[in-house]
């Protein structure tokens, strides 16, 4: 099995979306880093207050799929549903 890497951006279109990200992001990062198979997970603010850089690494496809399942049912998943994500995923069949 090979590592899965996700790189991209989280892009808000309104100040309300950006506020929601700032409010909920610390818990989302902590929960993700605690997941089995999560090698690294960083979401970093950019010079644009509406955009964050995302970099994720998981041990394998199974760990990545478990992450996706958890996020779908999480508070983060619920409150960020309408926020654009521009990601490239390596090591995972899309």
Question: In this structure, are residues 39 and 87 in contact, taking their beta carbons and an 8 Å threshold?
Answer: no
Q: How confident is the model at residue 1 (pLDDT cuts 50, 70, 90)?
A: low
Q: Kindly report, residue by residue over 21-65, the tens digit of the pLDDT.
A: 999 999 999 999 999 999 999 999 999 999 999 999 999 999 999
Helices (H), the chain: 15-33, 61-72, 75-79
Number of domains in the chain: 1
Query: For residue 10, what is the domain's CATH number?
Result: 3.30.70.100
Q: Please report which confidence band the pLDDT of residue 7 belongs to, taking 50, 70 and 90 as the band edges.
A: very high
Residue 83 phi, psi dihedral angles, 5° rounding: -90, 130
- 66 within 8 A of 33, measured Cβ to Cβ: no
Q: Could you list the residue range(s) of the whole structural domain that residue 73 is in?
A: 4-90
Q: What is the pLDDT of residue 77?
A: 96
The predicted pLDDT at position 50 comes to: 98
Inter-residue contact 17 to 83 (CB < 8 Å): yes
Over residues 83-93, mean pLDDT: 90
């Amino acid at each position: 099995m090979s590592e899965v890497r996700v790189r991209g951006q989280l892009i808000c279109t309104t100040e309300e979306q950006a506020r929601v990200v700032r409010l909920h992001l610390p818990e989302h990062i902590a929960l993700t880093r605690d997941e089995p198979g999560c090698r690294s997970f960083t979401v970093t603010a950019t010079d644009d207050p509406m955009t964050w850089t995302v970099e994720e690494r998981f041990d394998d496809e199974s760990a990545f799929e478990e992450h996706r399942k958890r996020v779908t049912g999480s508070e983060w998943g619920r409150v960020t549903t309408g926020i654009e994500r521009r990601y490239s995923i390596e090591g995972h069949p899309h």
